[in-house]
Chains A and B, each alone.
Chain A
Amino acid sequence: GQQLNQSPQSMFIQEGEDVSMNCTSSSIFNTWLWYKQDPGEGPVLLIALYKAGELTSNGRLTAQFGITRKDSFLNISASIPSDVGIYFCAGQETGGGADGLTFGKGTHLIIQP
C-alpha cells in the first residue's frame, strides 16, 4: 500500500514563531486533509485540499496541495499556545470515503511561552 511520511515528528518553538510541516507520499493522491488532535480528543479537520497546486487558508493556517500530487504542507503563522497539539496529514489515492485515507504519524507541536 501507499506510504505517507510526515515530518517533523515534533517541533519545539517559541510563541509567535511560524511553523511548517509537510507530508510526502510514495504515490499520487487526489485528496489531502490536515487534522489537529488535542489531548484526549479526536482529530478535528482543519483544511481539505482537492486539486493539485491548491493553496487554502483557514485563519493563521495555510495548506497547499503539491503540484506533483505527492506532497502537501501546512504552515501556521504567529503561533499561539492553543496551537499545541498533534497535527496529522491524510491522503487518498482515489475518490471515495474516509476508509481510503492514509494517515501520517503526526507532528507534535510544542510551544514554549
Chain B
Amino acid sequence: GAGVSQSPSNKVTEKGKDVELRCDPISGHTALYWYRQSLGQGLEFLIYFQGNSAPDKSGLPSDRFSAERTGGSVSTLTIQRTQQEDSAVYLCASSREWADTEAFFGQGTRLTVV
C-alpha cells in the first residue's frame, strides 16, 4: 500500500478482554516496528520484525503482550487480559530494511481499556 495502515483506529475494550491490533506495512518494507505512546510521553519501543522474525522481544511490557508477522507483511499485536494501564496509542512503523533508520508510521490505534 501507499502508506502504513493500522486497524482499528480506535478500540474501547473492557478490562480483562483480549484485543488484536493490526498493521499493514508499506509494500516491500521488510522491517516492521511496534511502539506505544502514552499521553504526554514519547514513543516506547515494543518489538520489531525483520521479515517474519522478531529478534528482540524484550521491549514487550509483560507476557500479556505478543506479536506476530506473517508472509513478511501484516503484523498483529495481541494484548491478553487487558488492564487499564494498557490504554495508549499503539503505533506501527515500517522501513525498507532493518538498517534503514527512517521509519514510516501508521496513524495508530487508540486503545482505551475501561
Chain A interface (Cβ < 8 Å from any Cβ of B) = 4, 6, 31, 33, 35, 40-45, 48, 88, 90, 92, 95-101, 103-106
Q: How far is A88 from B103 in the complex, measured between Cα atoms in Å?
A: 14
Count of A-B contacts judged by CB separation below 8 Å: 75
Contacting pair A106 B42 (CB below 8 A): yes
B83 at the interface (CB under 8 A from A): no
- Which residues on A sit within 8 Å (CB–CB) of B41? 105
- Min Cβ gap B76→A in Å is 18
Q: Is A42 in contact with B42, judged by CB distance below 8 angstroms?
A: no
Q: Give, as a whole number of angstroms, the nearest-CB distance from A38 to chain B.
A: 9
Say yes or no for B108: interface residue by CB 8 A criterion.
Answer: yes
A residues in contact with B4, CB < 8 Å = 42
- Closest chain B residue to A38, Cβ basis: B107
Q: How far is the CA of A104 from the CA of B40 in the complex (A)?
A: 11
Instruction: Please determine whether B102 and A88 come into contact, CB atoms closer than 8 angstroms.
Output: no
Interface residue tally on B, bucketed by range: 20 to 34
The digit string for B90-108, where 1 denotes a CB below 8 A from any CB of A, is 0101010111111111111
Asked, given contacts A97-B33, A97-B48, whether A42 binds B101 with beta carbons under 8 Å apart, the answer is no
Question: A97 touching B91 by the CB < 8 A rule?
Answer: no
Cβ contact within 8 Å between A103 and B43: yes
A31, A44, A103 — which one has the most chain B CB atoms within 10 A of its CB? A103
Q: How far is the CA of A96 from the CA of B99 in the complex (A)?
A: 5
- In the complex, are the beta carbons of B42 and A45 less than 8 A apart? no
Measured between beta carbons, the chain B residues less than 8 angstroms from A33 are 101-102
Task: Say which residue of A4, A6, A95, A98 sits within 8 Å of B103 (CB atoms).
Answer: A98
A70 to B48 CA separation, bound complex (whole angstroms): 26
Contact B91 A43 (CB under 8 A): yes
Write the nearest CB–CB distance from A56 to chain B, whole angstroms: 13
